[in-house]
Amino acid sequence: MNASTTQRLLAEFAGTALLLATVVGSGIMAATLSGGNAALALLANAAATAAILYVLIALFGPLSGAHFNPAVTLVAGLRRELPARTALAYAAVQLAGAVAGVLLAHAMFELPLLQPGIRVRSGAAQWLSEAVATFGLLLTILLGLRHRPAAIPALVGGYIFAAYWFTASTSFANPAVTLARALTRSFAGIRPDDVAGFVLAQLAGALAAMAFAARLAPPTARP
């Protein structure tokens, strides 16, 4: 399907907003219903996130590629699969959509719309976790698109579900998600002071994945 630029940007905005509404909203619901059981809350949050990723990628993939993530868009731009101007527009609407999704989640649960995060997520182990999480996500996407394109929704959803559990950071793996989650004090939040470390680690992981994937299967530039 050949979508217009406006359609592609709307798809990226809506998809990212719905992703964040799910991440934050399911975190609020899980924390409320789990009775203080952190493992159960994380399980519910991870399952909801994986499920919505499958749906959103299946729905919006044919329109925009279903990036919902500036790190994915950066790699697509560097691989010349997306023009630089379009990549910048994607990143802008992803960030706007992520913030909108957090505000929507707060509104649905009758919470203050803006509430800077207070959850400390800092230190070498957290940064390494984000680099690993983003590396794995980009590698899943890059190799999946080459070898199993029809399975991408399931591959990405499955990877993120696993990465919630095997990384110490619970796998944000997305700069727009990270920035937006600094606006919530819920289960899914992050302290604003910790955002920069996460984003730098995510970008490093994404670039490492791009280089590694290129060694396995050189990218094919699109016209």
Q: Using one digit for the tens of pLDDT, what is the confidence trace for 114-131?
A: 899 999 999 999 999 999
Query: Is residue 210, in this structure, part of any structural domain at all?
Result: yes
Query: Is residue 133, in this structure, part of any structural domain at all?
Result: yes
Instruction: Identify residue 129 by its one-letter amino acid code.
Output: S
Query: Is residue 199, in this structure, part of any structural domain at all?
Result: yes
Query: Is residue 55, in this structure, part of any structural domain at all?
Result: yes
Nearest Cα to 174, choosing from 70, 77, 95? Answer: 70
Query: Is residue 223, in this structure, part of any structural domain at all?
Result: no
Query: Is residue 208, in this structure, part of any structural domain at all?
Result: yes
Interval 201-213 mean pLDDT: 97
Cα end-to-end span (Å), the chain: 16
Which CATH number does the domain housing residue 168 bear?
1.20.1080.10
- Predicted local distance difference test score (pLDDT) of residue 40: 97
Interval 21-26 mean pLDDT: 98
Query: Is residue 196, in this structure, part of any structural domain at all?
Result: yes
Query: Is residue 222, in this structure, part of any structural domain at all?
Result: no
Number of domains in the chain: 1
| In the chain, % of residues over pLDDT 90 | 95
Q: What is the pLDDT of residues 142-194, one digit of tens each?
A: 999 999 999 999 999 999 999 999 999 999 999 999 999 999 999 999 999 99
Per-residue pLDDT for 81 more than 70? Answer: yes
Q: Give the count of beta carbons closer than 10 Å to the beta carbon of residue 151.
A: 12
Residue 86 C-beta-side C-alpha neighbours within 13 Å: 22
Domain range enclosing 155: 5-216
pTM: 0.94
